[in-house]
Amino acid sequence: MTVLDYVYAATLAMLALGVLCALVRLVRGPSVLDRILCLNTISVLLVSVIAVEVAVRGDTAYVGLMVSIALLGFVATLTAARFAERRAHDRD
Amino acid sequence: MTATDWITAVLLPAGALFTLIGTIGLVRLPTPLGRLHAAAKPDTVGLLLILSGAAFQLPDISAAAPLLLVALFQFTTIPVLAQTLGRVTYSRGESSAERMVVDELADAVRHAERDSDAGPGEGGRPNTPGEPEAADGERPPGT
């Protein structure tokens, strides 16, 4: 165990705690928008976790995965937000 | 432990700390717009720091170019998402008006309502962010 191994472990632990906090808000969130926001936050955290994995391995084999997760999270969040907005208009 | 390893050892936990503080704010803050604020910015900074730390572990500078691509992509998309979610929160009426200091969108919505009373506008453009729509939801068909 070098210092870097402890650093990676601490970083991943903090990111996991962040995902847990986002999950708490996702369960508790009063509105749909809070849940959409939490799902987007979790996708950003996933990209961060894969970035730590890139640091561990020392090569960028996983960059395609990072870009595709970021793209999917972006499109999904935008679509869900638009959908929530339109549902609100239909309700009126 | 070389110098680059030490740089990584500083940057990675710093980025994770930013992210963690942002998500703690996501749980603790009372208002929807406050939570939006807490989710959007610390995550972006934390991701940038973690990507920088990961770049120092790569063999040469050209290998870090894809990481720069990821950083640029998130830096352009996260503000767009935050702005869109904020507008949707406002238009759904969930934005806690009593806590607001300045409500700049109310004037825009009033103007849009007045224009829509004067008759439908030109074209069937879907409402783009930054273009306020009438509060009664008169949007062109097919959007």
DSSP notation for B27-74: HH--SHHHHHHHHHHHHHHHHHHHHHHHHTTSSSGGGGHHHHHHHHHH
- A82: buried, middle or exposed (CB in 10 Å: 19+, 13-18, 0-12)? middle
What's residue B109's pLDDT? 79
- With pLDDT > 90 as the criterion, what percentage of chain A qualifies? 73
- Residue B125 phi/psi, 5-degree rounding, is -75, 135
Average pLDDT over chain B reads 81
Q: Which residues 2-41 of chain A have a CB within 8 Å of chain B?
A: 2-4, 7-8, 10-12, 14-15, 17-19, 21-22, 24-25, 30-31, 33-34, 36-38, 40-41
**Residue B72: per-residue pLDDT:** 94
Q: Where does residue B108 rank: exposed (0-12), middle (13-18), buried (19+ CB within 10 A)?
A: middle
CA distance B43 to A8: 18
pTM: 0.81
Break chain B into its structural domains and give their ranges: 3-95
Q: Chain B contacts of A11, Cβ < 8 Å?
A: 12-13, 15-16, 50
CB-based contact B112:B85 (threshold 8 Å): no
Question: What angle, 0 to 180 degrees and rounded to 10, lies between the N-to-C axes of helices B65-91 and A63-91?
Answer: 10
Q: Cβ B32–A81 below 8 Å, yes or no?
A: no
In the chain, the amino acid numbered B96 is: S
Contact B135, B87 (CB under 8 A): no
Average pLDDT over chain A, rounded to an integer: 90
What pLDDT shows up at residue B125?
47
Distance from CA of B20 to the nearest CA of A (A): 5
Cα–Cα–Cα angle for A31, A32, A38, rounded to 5 degrees:
100
- C-alpha to C-alpha distance for A11 and A19, rounded to whole angstroms: 13
Length of chain A: 92
Asked whether residue A61 carries a pLDDT value surpassing 80, the answer given is yes
Mean pLDDT for the stretch of residues A5-9: 93
User: What is the per-residue pLDDT for A74?
Assistant: 94
